[in-house]
Amino acid sequence: MKIAIVTETFLPSTDGIVTRLCATIQWLQKSGHEVLIIAPDLGINEFEGAKVKGVPARTFFFYPDRKFSLPTHKVKKYLQEFRPDIVHVVNPALVGASGVYYSRRLGLPLVASYHTNIAQYSSYYRLPFLLPLLWKYFRILHNQADVNLCTSESVKDELTSRGFRNLHVWKRGVAVQQFGSQNYDQTMREYLTNGQPEKTLLLYVGRLAAEKGIERIRDVLEGSSNLCLALVGDGPHKETLRCYFRDTNCIFTGFFHGEKLAKAYASADIFVFPSITETLGLVILEAMASGLPVVAARTGPSSEQIVDGTTGLLYLPDDPNSLKETILKLNEKTIRWKIGRNAYNVARSFGWDESAEQLLEFYKLAYNTHSHRNRYLLGLD
């Protein structure tokens, strides 16, 4: 099968979408399929044998740390040259809107996947008046697809209630061979604890953005002198967070990748993920696969990954004391070890192969749905 993937983000950017895409593309290429990636031009021309066609990219005031591509006719040119069997538009918003438009114009089967609560982010960037317009815009884009994918049952329920059609849940996955307690590294722990390895190390991995709610963790640090925090990641909120966490036991590391990231997970004690805006949060599964107990907000997507009290702990985001109280429940090493071991055992069953195989079935469904619709319109069925 020839598959064109149009995405708003790709390497060298790092986030859950890119992680999922890279694992999926690797599997598709190894399975004999041909993949073309159309993405913002960030200097990457090839990935795992798949060609990357770049689209001019630029930064915007609302997110200066990342480049985005606007809608462009170049997407049409690339699709016409490649002649795919299926087009998959990932998180359609800007350049992805071109993917949707030209797929329809060229009569190509279309899959669209929803990964980010962009509409929900509007309140964090002081643009709440845009919320109804954003939901309408994304609904129009997605409802042109033959198949729509999302990453959790709770998000599927919300999108259904907002009029999105043809929805399916795309399974989560994790690089089970990459993560694990065997990656513990004393030097990494020394670094992440700022030379205080005897303290309990809290770890956050992800974008440093306003919608992630990272500020909530400061109260936890101030409530116990035995805690320290490492924020692994980068983003537009970094300098604000540096000021906010000044004079606390907190360090900023920037992004980690590969072996370095695996060592960071394995060398920490507790993974803390305070965000309430996630459609899934793949870093939760990475932390679980590393044997870490996870403390996350009690939201629909997080509750689908964590069994409270067994594979992690869920705090109540509306209670200002809940995060601190929940983390302090993990003071005892034996409790942390037990929950971390349970999390590890669960996470090992979520390899990326199953997720990629499922996606291929969705591609076939979209192809068949599109073909059937065309035959119906032509009066052949």
In this structure, the answer to whether residues 360 and 338 fall within a common structural domain is no
Q: Which residues contact 375 (CB under 8 A, 6 or more apart)?
A: 381
Torsion of CA 7, 8, 12, 13, to 10 degrees: -130
Residue 48: CA count within 13 A, CB half-sphere: 18
In this structure, the answer to whether residues 53 and 136 fall within a common structural domain is yes
In this structure, the answer to whether residues 159 and 268 fall within a common structural domain is no
- Give the mean pLDDT of 206-224: 94
- Give the mean pLDDT of 308-324: 97
In this structure, the answer to whether residues 332 and 292 fall within a common structural domain is yes
Spatial distance between the Cα atoms of 322 and 313, rounded to a whole number of angstroms: 11
In this structure, the answer to whether residues 234 and 325 fall within a common structural domain is yes
Take residue 284 and report the two structure tokens written for it: 């939760």
- Give the mean pLDDT of 330-340: 96
In this structure, the answer to whether residues 278 and 363 fall within a common structural domain is no
Compute CA distances 46 → 49, 96, 180, 322, whole Å.
Answer: 6, 20, 29, 46
The mean predicted confidence, pLDDT, of the chain is 94
Take residue 184 and report the two structure tokens written for it: 């513990």
**Model confidence pTM above 0.85:** yes
In this structure, the answer to whether residues 159 and 214 fall within a common structural domain is no
In this structure, the answer to whether residues 142 and 90 fall within a common structural domain is yes
Q: Which residues pair with 38 in a beta bridge?
A: 6, 53
Residue 377's pLDDT band (cuts 50, 70, 90): low
Q: Phi then psi for 113, rounded to 5 degrees?
A: -125, 140
pLDDT at site 117:
87
Spatial distance between the Cα atoms of 300 and 306, rounded to a whole number of angstroms: 10
SS3 57: coil
pLDDT at site 60:
81
Q: Residue 381 pLDDT more than 60? A: no
313-315 and 270-273 as β-strands: parallel, antiparallel, unpaired? unpaired
In this structure, the answer to whether residues 152 and 168 fall within a common structural domain is yes
pLDDT tens across 57-103, in order? 998 876 777 899 999 999 999 999 999 999 999 999 999 999 999 99
pLDDT tens across 246-300, in order? 999 999 999 999 999 999 999 999 999 999 999 999 999 999 999 999 999 999 9
Q: Which residues contact 9 (CB under 8 A, 6 or more apart)?
A: 15, 17, 18, 39, 40, 66, 90, 91
Please provide the DSSP assignment of 296-320 as one string. EE--HHHHHH--BTTTBEEE-TTST
What whole-number percentage of the chain has pLDDT above 70? 96
Query: Please, is 107 exposed, middle or buried when counting C-beta atoms within 10 Å of its C-beta (0-12, 13-18, 19+)?
Result: exposed
In this structure, the answer to whether residues 301 and 333 fall within a common structural domain is yes
Amino acid identity of 14? T
In this structure, the answer to whether residues 141 and 224 fall within a common structural domain is no
Take residue 260 and report the two structure tokens written for it: 């370095």
Amino acid identity of 376? Y
User: Which CATH number belongs to the domain containing residue 103 in this structure?
Assistant: 3.40.50.2000
Q: Which residues contact 337 (CB under 8 A, 6 or more apart)?
A: none
- The total domain count for the chain is 2
Amino acid identity of 191? Y
Domain that holds residue 239: 181-347
- Give the mean pLDDT of 184-213: 97
Q: Residue 380 pLDDT more than 60? A: no
In this structure, the answer to whether residues 166 and 226 fall within a common structural domain is no
Q: Residue 219 pLDDT more than 60? A: yes
* Contact status, residue 283 vs residue 263, Cβ threshold 8 Å: no
pLDDT tens across 104-149, in order? 999 999 999 999 988 777 766 667 788 899 999 999 999 999 999 9
